[in-house]
């Protein structure tokens, strides 16, 4: 018998379809970081999209970052013309409606201003969480820009310690 999608992942799939994406959600083993996700999928960690909530001058924003990099908070804050700080787990859960360790780029109760790390453009295909720790979906940089109504930003990201 086929497994049903978790309601969070089903909502992400519905949102993807409504925005013109194929909406296919893939199940995978639970992973704790981009390196583990990449290993489970057999892809480069850089092609895994890490969705992180930050506060830009106290307003929540979503940063979509290559799994092989970390955000240079000071430089990215300057580029976004404000002060950028990581959001707490409570704020992340509240504004996304998704588990903190599985935030999807979309499918949140409100549309968060979304910024994509320009480093993601270097990968032919990207993999992002589908709103549940055991799910992902495949996309491309241009498609992710479109479905999130996001803006590409040089996040001045340094190599990740993952």
Tell me, yes or no, if the pTM score tops 0.85.
yes
Considering the chain, what is the average pLDDT of its residues? 90
Return the percentage of the chain with pLDDT > 70, whole number: 94
Taking 50 as the threshold, does the pLDDT of residue 162 lie above it? no
Which position has the higher pLDDT, 6 or 109? 109
- Cα–Cα distance measured from residue 23 to residue 145, given in angstroms and rounded to the nearest whole number: 15
Q: Say if residues 62 and 145 touch (Cβ distance below 8 Å).
A: no
Strand partners, 65: 50
Q: Say if residues 136 and 63 touch (Cβ distance below 8 Å).
A: no
Note the pLDDT tens digit of each residue in 105-142. 999 998 899 999 999 999 999 999 999 988 999 999 99
Rg (C-alpha) for the chain, rounded Å, is: 15
Strand partners, 114: 62
Relative to beta strand 69-70, strand 158-159 is antiparallel
């Amino acid at each position: 018998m086929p497994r049903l999608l978790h309601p969070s992942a089903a909502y992400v799939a519905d949102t993807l379809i409504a925005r013109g994406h194929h909406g296919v959600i893939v199940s995978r083993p639970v992973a704790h970081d981009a390196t583990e996700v990449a290993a489970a999928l057999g892809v480069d960690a850089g092609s895994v999209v890490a969705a992180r909530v930050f506060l830009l001058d106290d307003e929540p924003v979503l940063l979509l970052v290559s799994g092989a990099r970390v955000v240079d908070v000071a430089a990215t804050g300057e580029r976004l013309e404000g002060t950028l700080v990581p959001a707490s787990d409570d704020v992340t859960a509240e504004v996304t409606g998704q588990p903190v360790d599985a935030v999807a780029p979309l499918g949140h109760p409100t549309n968060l201003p979304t910024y994509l790390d320009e480093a993601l453009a270097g990968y032919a295909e990207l993999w992002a969480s589908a709103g549940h720790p055991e799910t992902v979906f495949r996309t491309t940089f241009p498609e992710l820009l479109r479905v999130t109504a996001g803006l590409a930003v040089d996040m001045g990201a340094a190599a990740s310690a993952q």
